[in-house]
């Protein structure tokens, strides 16, 4: 057992003990033994979920991955709602209110509410992402580029529970939009090419007049970035590694550039993200940068880009993780301004880890350039 796994196991057991001590006494004596067994099973399943991306393929491995990841989502809500219940109990006691009736009823309500939130989150995560239309005003936009549209996909995370049919449905919806270009802004996969290549094949059907483009996210580097870059290129998608292409419309020009993930240099020094290098040697009426993480925005603005398209945050995916995103990223989701540049952050087209989205719906983004 390595040290990291031991720490995770210790913290997980500690949190399960906390949940048990706070909820089981309120339910009376009879359910305590069953509750302890259920919490122990939940602990084991959460550990399976944490290891799901690296599990060897066996006849039962996909089913166990599903169970583990569903358990992770349920455990997260169970923990958060248990803490919320304790805060309510504390407030009632400070106010001098009597709590005996509330203790028993709320102890039963917590797992039921966690189950309901997880079920709703599952439905939200597994349905095909909705199309979100975003107009970005660009000062001095040439008439030939009015309405120029880019369909953005981000953070699909093909892996243990996101497979070919899920991606197929996304591709079908994107192709129906008739966008001028398609951008995939990283975290396409969670796993090796050997394991997931059959499930990413639908990307080869993506079609747009000005091309389909991809930039790496941090999860590509966990999954073998160089091999995935080669595979994405094999599917006919243009990979932009600190480089750009120029597209023309009736004399007007659009630069579509891309950088490697903000943390790529920690895995491959040659992949260090560089917005200036991505724009070097090119001039265009509108300059658009694809960058997985919003943290690339200051460098992109300094390099003279008009718009950056990013993902990475998932919009928090489900409460309370949206509260922690600002600790690492300047923005959680939506359209924002960084000096003279716009940045749009997608909430993601798939999901990571638990098949669960709550308060942060997935999206296929249709970004349109309009006069500023």
pLDDT value for 29: 59
User: Of residues 27 and 285, which shows the higher confidence score?
Assistant: 285
Q: Where are the chain's structural domains?
A: 3-126, 130-371
Q: Is pLDDT of 355 > 60? A: yes
Q: Name the residue with tokens 């070097």.
A: 280
Q: Is pLDDT of 32 > 90? A: no
Q: Is pLDDT of 190 > 80? A: yes
Q: What's the rounded mean pLDDT across residues 113-136?
A: 97
What would the 3-class secondary structure string for 250-317 be?
A: CCEEEEEEECCCCCHHHCCHHHCCCHHHHHCCCCCCEEEEECCCHHHHHHHHHCCCCEEEECCCHHHC
Q: What is the pLDDT of residues 68-111, one digit of tens each?
A: 999 999 999 999 999 999 999 999 888 887 777 788 889 989 99
Q: What is the pLDDT of residues 168-181, one digit of tens each?
A: 999 999 999 999 99
Q: Is pLDDT of 58 > 70? A: no
**CATH class belonging to 130-371:** alpha beta
Alpha carbon separation from 366 to 131, 152, 178, 295 (Å, rounded): 7, 6, 10, 22
Distance between CA 44 and CA 108 in Å, rounded? Answer: 22
By the 8 A CB rule, do 277 and 313 touch? no
pLDDT value for 51: 80
Q: Other CB atoms closer than 10 Å to residue 190's CB: what's the count?
A: 24
pTM summary value: 0.92
State the distance between the two ends of the chain, measured CA to CA, in whole angstroms: 58
Q: Which residues pair with 185 in a beta bridge?
A: 215
């Amino acid at each position: 057992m390595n040290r990291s796994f031991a720490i995770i196991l210790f913290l997980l057991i500690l949190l399960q003990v906390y949940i048990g001590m706070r909820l089981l006494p309120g339910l009376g004596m009879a359910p305590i033994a069953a509750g302890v067994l259920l919490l122990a099973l939940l602990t084991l399943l959460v550990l399976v979920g944490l290891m799901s991306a690296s599990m060897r393929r066996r006849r039962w491995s996909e089913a166990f991955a599903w169970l583990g990841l569903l358990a992770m989502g349920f455990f997260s809500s169970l923990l958060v709602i248990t803490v919320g219940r304790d805060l309510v109990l504390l407030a009632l006691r400070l106010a001098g209110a009597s709590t005996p009736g509330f203790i028993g009823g709320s102890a039963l309500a917590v797992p039921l509410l966690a189950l309901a939130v997880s079920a709703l989150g599952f439905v939200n995560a597994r349905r095909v992402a909705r199309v979100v239309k975003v107009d970005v005003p660009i000062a001095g936009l040439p008439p030939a580029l009015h309405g120029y549209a880019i369909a953005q996909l981000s953070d699909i995370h093909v892996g243990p529970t996101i497979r070919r049919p899920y991606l197929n449905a996304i591709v079908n919806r994107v192709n129906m939009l008739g966008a001028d270009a398609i951008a995939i802004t990283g975290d396409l996969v969670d796993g090796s090419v050997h394991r997931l290549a059959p499930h990413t094949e639908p990307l080869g059907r993506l079609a747009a007049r000005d091309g389909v483009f991809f930039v790496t996210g941090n999860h590509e580097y966990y999954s073998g970035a160089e091999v995935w870059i080669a595979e994405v290129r094999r599917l006919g998608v243009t990979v932009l590694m600190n480089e750009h292409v120029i597209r023309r419309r009736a004399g007007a020009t659009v630069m579509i550039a891309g950088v490697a993930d903000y943390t790529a240099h920690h895995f491959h020094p040659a992949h260090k993200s560089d917005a200036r290098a991505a724009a070097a040697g090119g001039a265009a009426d509108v300059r658009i940068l694809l960058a997985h993480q919003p943290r690339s925005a200051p460098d992109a603005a300094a390099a003279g880009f008009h718009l950056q398209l990013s993902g990475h945050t998932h919009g928090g995916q489900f409460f309370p993780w949206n509260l922690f995103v600002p600790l690492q990223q300047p923005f959680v989701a939506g359209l924002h301004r960084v000096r003279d540049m716009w940045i749009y952050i997608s909430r993601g087209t798939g999901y990571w880890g638990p098949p669960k989205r709550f308060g942060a719906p997935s999206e296929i983004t249709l970004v349109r350039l309009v006069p500023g």
